[in-house]
Structure 1
Amino acid sequence: MRYGWRLLALVLLLPSPLFAAAGATGYRINPEASQATFQVRLFWLDNVNGHFTHVNGDLAPGPHPESWIVNATIPVDSVAMTSPRMRKMVLAPSFFDAEHHPVIHFVSDPVAQSELIGGGTLTGYLTLRGVTAPIQFAMEPERCAQLSSAPCRIQLRGNLQRSTFGMTSNRVALSDRVDLNLSITLQRETR
């Protein structure tokens, strides 16, 4: 019986990070403080730039200790561009096809907490226009000294091929490569 109490006391004295994944509630993506930007070359001379004003989702505990899974959605109609004509073009069936595919969805592979804090590579799957394909982002925490109750900002930088997601029109005018960058602000979920 004494051995059981000693073991319980020892377990209670262990550092709390060992329990972080098991007891963690996760983080939500603050949609008002997060955004996604994209850039595609136009006639190899100029760029078409746009951004999505809302990124929704969460960062939930992963299957391994101190691992996390990012689950994010972007409403396609939250796209903002300087030209109303260009905005209409990117919402049309030949580009994002917002009417039939109103959201862009990303789910990451499990990522170690150390990479969220210090930077690294975030891999996962992006669903765009009903097509799901692997994608990889370089992850650069701007302010993530530790995952705590304070907001944590993470920058993700990646690119995709339009043709992978069925966007094959305007190939002469627009490049196939699209740069996709996300600025995500994480806030601890309160329960």
Structure 2
Amino acid sequence: MWKPERYAWLLSAALAVVATPVPAQAPAQAPVTTAVVDTGRSWLGFEVRTRFGQRMAGEFPRYDGVVEHLPDGRHRVRLRVATSEAVIPDRPRYTAWMRSQSFFDAIRHPWMEFVSEPYGPELLRDGGALRGRLSLRGVARDEELVVAPAACARPGLDCEILVAGSIERADYGMREWQFALADEVRLEVRVRLHEATP
């Protein structure tokens, strides 16, 4: 025979569980910018070779970047580079061609961006592979750069961080002039940092 009083305790317990507030989860920690690229003391360059052995070296005079400290102790770098201001010194015709639709297509894609994968802070000291996502001409691809071992205990602050690598033009839709230009574009970065203002 059903006797409600026998199950009153069960009903009370169920109501207590429902009424107990669920502890709010702590909000995820956002990355903190710890350092900013010192654009006055850094240098970003590129090099393309012709099929005839000629070397065309250029520079990116305008860029900005930050180093983020992630909650797990690793770092991540974000770098934006203005392809619209890429220049081959003393070669105005080559500079115009480099910014044109045939190469960087700077009118439609004035910036390229590199966002690294998280890395341990020892990478900048000891050197090694810096992997990340490069966005250029509307195409995003995983690329790998190489960081040289540092010459000081605080890379970027007390000495330069040297980074080098290369990309393939065809991977980013730069397929014109294949008969005259090598597909490889070499990149070189010399970075100095200053600590971010709180």
Between Structure 1 and Structure 2, the one with more helix by share is 1
Please say whether Structure 1 and Structure 2 have the same fold, judged by a TM-score greater than 0.5.
yes
Residues 79, 115 of structure 2: 8 Å contact kept: yes
State which drifts further: 137-146 or 81-90.
137-146
TM-aligned CA deviation for residue 133 of structure 1: 0.6
Q: Distance in 1 between matches of 2:173 and 2:40?
A: 30
1:36 to 2:44 alignment: yes
Please name the residue that 1:87 is paired with.
Answer: 95
Q: Distance in 2 between matches of 1:147 and 1:50?
A: 25
CA 1:151–1:23 in structure 2 vs 1: closer, same or farther (change >3 Å)?
A: farther
Q: Distance in 2 between matches of 1:131 and 1:144?
A: 36
* Residue number among 59, 64, 73 corresponding to 2:72 in the alignment: 64
SS of aligned partner of 2:122:
helix
Q: Which amino acid aligns with 1:190?
A: T
CA 1:25–1:48 in structure 2 vs 1: closer, same or farther (change >3 Å)?
A: closer
Please name the residue that 1:177 is paired with.
Answer: 184
Which whole-Å deviations, capped at 9, do the CAs of 1:129-167 have from their partners, x for residues lacking one?
11011111110254441369x455211110000000000
Please name the residue that 1:100 is paired with.
Answer: 108
TM superposition score normalised by structure 2: 0.78
Between Structure 1 and Structure 2, the one with more strand by share is 1
| Bigger Rg, structure 1 or 2 | 2
CA 1:23–1:171 in structure 2 vs 1: closer, same or farther (change >3 Å)?
A: closer
Please name the residue that 2:18 is paired with.
Answer: none
TM-aligned CA deviation for residue 63 of structure 1: 4.5
SS of aligned partner of 1:71:
strand
SS of aligned partner of 1:112:
coil
Q: CA RMSD in A?
A: 2.0
TM-aligned CA deviation for residue 172 of structure 1: 0.5
CA 1:179–1:23 in structure 2 vs 1: closer, same or farther (change >3 Å)?
A: closer
Residues 32, 54 of structure 1: 8 Å contact kept: no
Which whole-Å deviations, capped at 9, do the CAs of 1:116-139 have from their partners, x for residues lacking one?
122111000111111011111110
Residues 125, 150 of structure 2: 8 Å contact kept: no
Q: Distance in 2 between matches of 1:23 and 1:101?
A: 27
TM-aligned CA deviation for residue 95 of structure 1: 0.4
Q: Distance in 2 between matches of 1:49 and 1:146?
A: 30
Residues 34, 55 of structure 1: 8 Å contact kept: no
State which drifts further: 97-106 or 43-52.
43-52
TM-aligned CA deviation for residue 185 of structure 1: 1.1
Residues 58, 72 of structure 1: 8 Å contact kept: yes
> Between the two proteins, what is the percent identity of the paired residues?
30
Where does 1:47-58 land on structure 2 (aligned, <5 Å)? 47-58=55-66
Please name the residue that 1:3 is paired with.
Answer: none
CA 1:161–1:63 in structure 2 vs 1: closer, same or farther (change >3 Å)?
A: farther
TM-aligned CA deviation for residue 35 of structure 1: 2.0
SS of aligned partner of 2:175:
coil
TM-aligned CA deviation for residue 187 of structure 1: 1.1
Q: Distance in 2 between matches of 1:142 and 1:77?
A: 31
Please name the residue that 1:163 is paired with.
Answer: 170
